[in-house]
Amino acid sequence: NIKSSTQQKLYDVALKAAQSIDYESAGTLEFIMDKDENFYFIEMNTRVQVEHPITEQITGVDIIKEQIRIAEGRPLSIQQEDLLINGCSIELRINAEDPYDNFKPLSGPIKDIHLPGGNGLRIDSFLYQGYTILPFYDSMIAKVIVHSRTREDAIEKAIRSMEELNIEGIKTNQEFQLEILLSEAFLDNNYDTSLVEKLLKGEIQ
């Protein structure tokens, strides 16, 4: 959890950057932050990000719909002061890859599939039984998004969704996603960008 003052600085910088280039569409500015909450600009993506369901879940705003409105020359249906953050959301990217073999991408047929469901659970995917994952594209095959009142509740939903998700016929990173969710560092909200590497090396549990 970062200080509200730091959050406001991030918002202000992002807004100023977009205004400085007269940007009109959905877009994302990315920053990296150190333990002292000093943040540094990485890049701007002039498109909807893979993580956009997170924002949609905690704000209730359909970002794709708003992006289309902008493209049509219509005004946004909301104002900045209308945006309220509600609860916590976590997104799990399910990839056809082997995390334990240097995240090697994989391809092949989906023999069977069961997607979890329930309150506060959203799944964005094109998968179906009999579909063949081809080797020519990005390895991401589904996004599992959970939303709940608190981070703890959201983590419980995320764990349950990974336990219930079943994709047969091809290896995915589902097991490793569960390993991350159950790690002490993630549960304690005390981790950084080295988490994945440390888990794979067995340096943390």
Residues with a known catalytic role: 47
Report how far residue 25's alpha carbon sits from residue 114's, in angstroms, rounded to the nearest whole number. 36
Q: Which of 90, 112, 96 is nearest to 159 (CA)?
A: 90
Q: Which residues pair with 95 in a beta bridge?
A: 140
| Token code pair at residue 7 | 């959050």
Q: Which of 144, 131, 152, 203 is nearest to 173 (CA)?
A: 144
| Token code pair at residue 201 | 């090396």
Local structure of residue 128 (DSSP, 8 states): -
CB 38 within 8 A of CB 83: no
Report how far residue 65's alpha carbon sits from residue 86's, in angstroms, rounded to the nearest whole number. 20
